[in-house]
Amino acid sequence: MPAQKQKRVLTIQDISCVGRCSLTVALPIISAAGIECSILPTAVLSTHTGGFEGYTYRDLTADISPITEHWKSLGLKFDAIYTGYLGSFEQIELVSKIFDEFKAPGGTILIDPVMGDNGSLYTGFTPEFALGMAKLCAKADVILPNLTEAAFMLGEPYRDEYSEEDIKALLLRLYGLGVKEAAITGVTYKSGKLGVAGFDGKKVKTYFNKRIDGYYHGTGDIYASAFLASYMKNGGKLFSAASKAAEFTVACIKAKQKTGGEARYGVPFELCLNKFTGSDDIIVIPTTM
Ligand code: PXL
């Protein structure tokens, strides 16, 4: 039997200590899928910024280069590098170098350009930063913006309504940023439904679920983490990963409806991990690489 190697991911985003988003969801979800998950925290916050007052923010930009220098001395490479919430132009520059230096041959760069939702940017982000993120996307294999992030990255006004044709055109413009594949989340042109629309460089496909009203914090990060896990397991199939991640996210939202609790504390994805690990489609079978 040839030696078998488990896949190893690096995810780069903040640690929001409380509030179930960014690293506190990415690490358990990717790990549950049987993939080794290494982390590079960009900042430590007492809570995320969406709905809490008085949160602390420790910027870790100065630690990034010493950490990556050490990794270089170890000869580390990653089968995928997945970025989420980044806090500054300097971090975008550092991440761009990390892509060049640490992606294993044949590896995947996934950018979730976490910056805003429902037409507005999160606290601390500017339209200029969104354009910086768009530039970084030229190095991505896959990007997963929501409609707000897509509009800001393209320097376009956010609209309250997007038709099917609008979404297709948006996907093509995102592709024009230099990405290989893109999926837009939060697509609503089918009445009573919420979906994701993907473009793999050849065709556009959509996946819709029954729309669940309300705001569920952290579900974008849950979606991206589940997407990555599924994408790595299935050999890089955009549409299948996009729909599996949507199913998992919907399960997490349904669990929140059962447990209740404030939206700002996120959704109880922990209660759904068994579903995730239990699926042959998602567990990673070690590959020869
Ligand atoms: O879930 C996205 C996210 C990640 N990290 C931080 C945030 C947010 C959204 O508000 O504030 C720090």
Ligand 1 atom having least distance to the Cα of 217: 1
- From the candidate CATH numbers 3.40.1190.20, 3.50.50.60, 3.40.50.300, 3.90.700.10, the one assigned to the domain spanning 8-272: 3.40.1190.20
pLDDT digits (tens, 9 = 90+) for 97-136: 999 999 999 999 999 999 999 999 999 999 999 999 999 9
Hey, what are 247's tokens?
Answer: 């199913």
Cα(243)–Cα(240) distance, integer angstroms = 5
Q: What is the pTM of this model?
A: 0.95
Name residues of the chain where pLDDT drops below 70: 1-3, 276, 278-289
Q: Report CA(230)–ligand 1 centroid distance (Å).
A: 23
Q: Scanning the structure block, which residue is given the tokens 């939206």?
A: 263
- CB of residue 14 inside a 6 A radius of ligand 1: yes
Backbone φ and ψ of 91, nearest 5°: -65, -35
pLDDT digits (tens, 9 = 90+) for 63-74: 999 999 999 999
Cα(186)–Cα(20) distance, integer angstroms = 20
Collapsed DSSP state (helix, strand, coil) of residue 65: helix
Hey, what are 142's tokens?
Answer: 């896959």
- CB of residue 223 inside a 6 A radius of ligand 1: no
